[in-house]
């Protein structure tokens, strides 16, 4: 149906230009128009991500729902080159140029040449908390007439640790603490803040729903053993390691921006789920107090739509999985992926792949030569193996959704965890940084749906863990650990973890049913911010 300017209700979505932030927001955009077909969604993106986002959106709409899909307007602000830190500022500048026209209810000129007709100003804005400058720009243009809701894709417990109050195990106001210490000592405020955000004092931390952990356990690796590869929308277009050199300075700025954004926003909408993590959801409601907090996870593709956007790569993978299923049966394959940004530097990952090959476990490995150079002998082994497949970009939905897939060896990024849980695939976790160590602890210790690798840790991660483990970090220890875990994974112990997960998966996947928790939360959000 055609939406007139006077009748339309309008939601504006602004995410950080990273796939992990954009992908679930694409699902939420579809939820808006499915739930209330008279809503128009303006989704601001960069041109590099537009083709992937269009493909992602297709999965949520049947062929006869094109008019509904048209209510989602992908408005991109131009193409940018470089890594995440390099494109962030020009992206924010592009937002500053387009937002006044959105607020003034003018026609919008997309960088593709398309012109979107004028509609009413937004009823609500979902904004990534990394974008404090954009929040201030919006407030400068439109004051507080339009509510701004923080869009959080990170693991809730890790986010609470970084930005939450100390009463919940959070770090509190790190900026204020750093300022006080800097005045007292004459040291650099930036240097102090880095230490406060990444402490190694041995203090015991207790976050809601998590086992007790020493503060240094939140740093599983040193940054010098993590390769960061920033995908710029194109599957094979990586800026390899470009972020690494400026990581401390850039990361610190993002942390500061996020903390202030969370204080200044009008509420939060996050990928959490009360069935998955009831304690942390309750903690957020207490933390945000008078401001609303909504938990709408998981946001994944509907099962009956996953084949609608299949590419030739997807087809190749499905044929391979079907072949493995016929030759080895259900739950026979190991899938290894470290997401679109991280890759562990060093020999550890090659040692683990070598063990997998020697144990003759069917394997799909997501790996790009632009990330790291694979040893030649291992490359030859993989090429010669008819039960192994190496992909530069893996269709994760297809792999996790196939009954041949038994286990997912993952860095435990939040999107990967969500997709694995939604698909019922238990995990072998190798946390590297960010929210990953917290996710790994929650999956393996609290929920008992995963194994965690400890010998792959580096730096402070090798200090004694609260649960009594003292990693050695040698290749010999890594080899022994992964062999033990893989043997357990295909034993009754692994079967029990899969059964635990399947119980949880059934509950989680009902979240968007008519009376599901996520659906109820979403309707509460709509009633408050986009009322009929």
pLDDT digits (tens, 9 = 90+) for 209-220: 999 999 999 888
Pick the residue with more confidence: 111 or 424? 424
Q: What is the pLDDT of residue 16?
A: 82
Q: Strands 108-109, 293-295: parallel, antiparallel or unpaired by DSSP?
A: unpaired
Pick the residue with more confidence: 208 or 242? 208
Q: State the residue range of the domain holding 391.
A: 310-508
Q: What is the pLDDT of residue 195?
A: 85
How far, in Å, CA of 101 to CA of 124, rounded? 16
Q: Specify if 314 maps to a domain.
A: yes
Q: Specify if 14 maps to a domain.
A: yes
Nearest C-alpha neighbor of 29 from the set 1, 59, 8, 62: 59
Is the separation of the CB atoms in 361 and 486 below 8 Å?
A: yes
What tokens appear for 401 in the block?
A: 């959704």
Starting from the edge strand earliest in sequence, which strands make up the sheet with 450-452, in order? 388-391, 363-366, 333-337, 405-410, 427-429, 450-452
Q: What is the pLDDT of residue 446?
A: 94
Cα 367 to the center of its chain, rounded Å: 19
- The dihedral formed by the CA atoms of 437, 439, 444 and 448, expressed in degrees to the nearest 10: 170
Q: What is the pLDDT of residue 254?
A: 61
Whether residue 26 is found in the same domain as residue 126: yes
- Is pLDDT at 29 greater than 80 in this prediction? yes
**HEC string of 191-243?**
HHHHHHHCCCCCCEECCCCCCCEEHHHHCCCCHHHEEEEEECCCCCCEEECCC
Condensed to tens digits (0 to 9), the pLDDT of residues 122-152 reads: 999 999 988 888 999 999 999 999 999 999 9
Whether residue 196 is found in the same domain as residue 208: yes
Region 309-333: mean pLDDT is 88
* Residue 408 phi, psi dihedral angles, 5° rounding: -125, 110
Q: What is the pLDDT of residue 18?
A: 77
Condensed to tens digits (0 to 9), the pLDDT of residues 459-479 reads: 888 889 998 999 999 999 999
Is the separation of the CB atoms in 89 and 221 below 8 Å?
A: no
- Is pLDDT at 59 greater than 50 in this prediction? yes
Binned at pLDDT 50, 70 and 90, residue 311 comes out as: low
Q: How many residues does the chain have?
A: 532
Whether residue 64 is found in the same domain as residue 207: no
Whether residue 28 is found in the same domain as residue 126: yes
Q: Can you give the pTM of this predicted structure?
A: 0.86
How far, in Å, CA of 184 to CA of 391, rounded? 53
Whether residue 297 is found in the same domain as residue 414: no
Other CB atoms within 10 A of residue 144 CB: 9
Other CB atoms within 10 A of residue 497 CB: 22
**3-state secondary structure (DSSP) of residue 384:** helix
- 120: alpha, beta or left? (left if phi > 0; alpha if psi -120 to 50): beta
What tokens appear for 436 in the block?
A: 């990953």
Q: Look up the CATH number of the domain holding residue 127.
A: 3.40.50.2000
Compute and round to an integer the Cα radius of gyration of the chain.
23
- Is pLDDT at 48 greater than 80 in this prediction? no
Whether residue 412 is found in the same domain as residue 524: no
Whether residue 56 is found in the same domain as residue 178: no
How far, in Å, CA of 360 to CA of 357, rounded? 5
Is the separation of the CB atoms in 432 and 40 below 8 Å?
A: no
- Is pLDDT at 306 greater than 70 in this prediction? no
Q: What is the pLDDT of residue 487?
A: 98
How far, in Å, CA of 531 to CA of 17, rounded? 29
Q: Specify if 239 maps to a domain.
A: no
Nearest C-alpha neighbor of 87 from the set 198, 219, 231: 231
The most confident of 43-57, 85-99, 502-516, by mean pLDDT: 502-516
Binned at pLDDT 50, 70 and 90, residue 57 comes out as: very high
- Is pLDDT at 307 greater than 60 in this prediction? no
- Is pLDDT at 246 greater than 70 in this prediction? no
Whether residue 323 is found in the same domain as residue 430: yes
Count of the separate structural domains present in the chain: 3
Q: Specify if 238 maps to a domain.
A: no
* Residue 451 phi, psi dihedral angles, 5° rounding: -105, 150
Region 384-404: mean pLDDT is 95
The helix/strand count (H/E) of the chain reads as 19, 20
Q: Specify if 285 maps to a domain.
A: yes
Region 418-446: mean pLDDT is 93
How far, in Å, CA of 514 to CA of 135, rounded? 33
- Is pLDDT at 176 greater than 90 in this prediction? no
Region 52-67: mean pLDDT is 89
Binned at pLDDT 50, 70 and 90, residue 372 comes out as: confident
Whether residue 202 is found in the same domain as residue 132: no
How far, in Å, CA of 258 to CA of 293, rounded? 16
- Is pLDDT at 5 greater than 70 in this prediction? no
User: Sign of the C-alpha dihedral, residues 60, 66, 67, 71?
Assistant: positive
Whether residue 329 is found in the same domain as residue 464: yes
In 104-212, alpha helices (H): 132-142, 156-163, 174-185, 189-197
How far, in Å, CA of 129 to CA of 16, rounded? 9
Q: Specify if 230 maps to a domain.
A: no
**Residues 6 or more apart from 70 whose CB is under 8 A from it?**
none
Q: What is the pLDDT of residue 257?
A: 67
Whether residue 118 is found in the same domain as residue 212: no
The rounded mean pLDDT for the chain is: 87
What tokens appear for 509 in the block?
A: 């996947």
DSSP string, 389-421: EEESS--HHHHHTSTTEEEEEE---HHHHHHHH
The most confident of 105-109, 209-213, 491-495, by mean pLDDT: 491-495
DSSP string, 265-296: SS-EEES--TTT-HHHHHHHHHHHTTS-EEE-
Q: Specify if 2 maps to a domain.
A: no
CA angle 528, 530, 532 (to 5 degrees): 100
Binned at pLDDT 50, 70 and 90, residue 342 comes out as: confident
Is the separation of the CB atoms in 297 and 276 below 8 Å?
A: yes
Q: Specify if 234 maps to a domain.
A: no
Lowest-pLDDT range, 26-40, 128-142, 308-322, 471-485?
A: 308-322
Q: What is the pLDDT of residue 1?
A: 42
Whether residue 467 is found in the same domain as residue 521: no
How far, in Å, CA of 97 to CA of 118, rounded? 16
- Is pLDDT at 94 greater than 90 in this prediction? no
Region 358-378: mean pLDDT is 92
């Amino acid at each position: 149906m055609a939406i007139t300017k006077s009748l339309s209700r309008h939601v504006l979505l602004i995410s950080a230009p990273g796939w992990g932030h954009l992908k679930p927001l694409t699902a939420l955009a579809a939820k808006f128009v499915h739930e209330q077909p008279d809503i128009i969604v303006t989704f601001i993106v960069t041109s590099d991500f537009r083709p992937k986002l269009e493909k992602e959106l297709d999965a949520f709409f049947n062929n006869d729902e094109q008019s509904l899909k048209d209510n989602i307007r992908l408005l991109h602000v131009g193409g940018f080159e470089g890594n995440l830190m390099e494109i962030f500022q020009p992206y924010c500048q592009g937002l500053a140029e387009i937002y006044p026209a959105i607020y003034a209810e003018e026609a919008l000129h997309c960088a593709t040449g398309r012109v979107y007709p004028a509609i009413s100003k937004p009823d609500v804005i979902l904004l990534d908390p990394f974008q404090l400058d954009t929040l201030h720009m919006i407030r400068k243009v439109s004051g507080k007439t339009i509510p701004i809701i923080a869009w959080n894709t990170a693991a809730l417990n890790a986010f609470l640790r970084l930005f939450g109050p100390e009463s919940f195990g959070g770090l509190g106001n790190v900026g204020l603490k750093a300022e006080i210490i800097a005045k007292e000592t004459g040291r650099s405020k930036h240097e102090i803040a880095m230490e406060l955000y990444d402490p190694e004092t041995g203090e015991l931390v207790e976050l809601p729903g998590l086992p007790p952990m020493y503060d240094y356990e939140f740093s599983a690796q040193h940054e010098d053993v993590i390769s960061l590869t920033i995908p710029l929308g194109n599957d094979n277009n990586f800026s390899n390691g470009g972020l690494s050199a400026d990581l401390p300075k850039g990361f610190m700025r993002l942390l500061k921006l996020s903390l202030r954004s969370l204080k200044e926003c009008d509420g939060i909408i996050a990928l959490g789920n009360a069935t998955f993590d009831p304690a942390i959801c309750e903690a957020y409601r207490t933390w945000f107090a008078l401001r609303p907090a909504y938990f709408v996870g998981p946001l994944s593709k509907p099962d009956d739509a996953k084949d609608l956007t299949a590419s030739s790569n997807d087809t190749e993978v499905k044929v391979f999985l079907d072949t493995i299923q016929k030759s080895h049966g259900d739950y026979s394959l190991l899938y290894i992926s470290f997401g679109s940004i991280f890759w562990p530097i060093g020999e550890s990952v090659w040692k683990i792949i070598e063990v997998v090959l020697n144990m003759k476990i069917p394997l799909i490995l997501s790996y790009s030569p632009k990330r790291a150079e694979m040893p030649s002998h291992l490359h030859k082994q993989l090429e010669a193996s008819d039960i192994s497949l190496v992909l530069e970009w893996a269709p994760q939905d297809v792999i996790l959704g196939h009954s041949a897939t038994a286990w997912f060896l993952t860095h435990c990024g939040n999107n990967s965890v969500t997709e694995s849980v939604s698909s019922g695939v238990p995990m072998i976790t190798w946390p590297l940084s960010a929210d990953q160590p917290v996710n790994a602890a929650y999956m393996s210790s609290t929920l008992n749906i995963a194994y965690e690798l400890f010998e792959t840790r580096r730096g402070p991660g090798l200090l004694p863990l609260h649960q009594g483990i003292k990693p050695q970090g040698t290749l010999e220890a890594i080899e022994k650990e992964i062999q033990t875990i893989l043997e357990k994974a295909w034993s009754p112990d692994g079967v029990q973890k899969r059964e635990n997960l399947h119980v949880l998966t059934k509950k989680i996947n009902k979240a968007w049913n008519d009376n599901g928790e996520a659906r109820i939360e979403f309707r509460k959000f709509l009633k408050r911010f986009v009322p009929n």
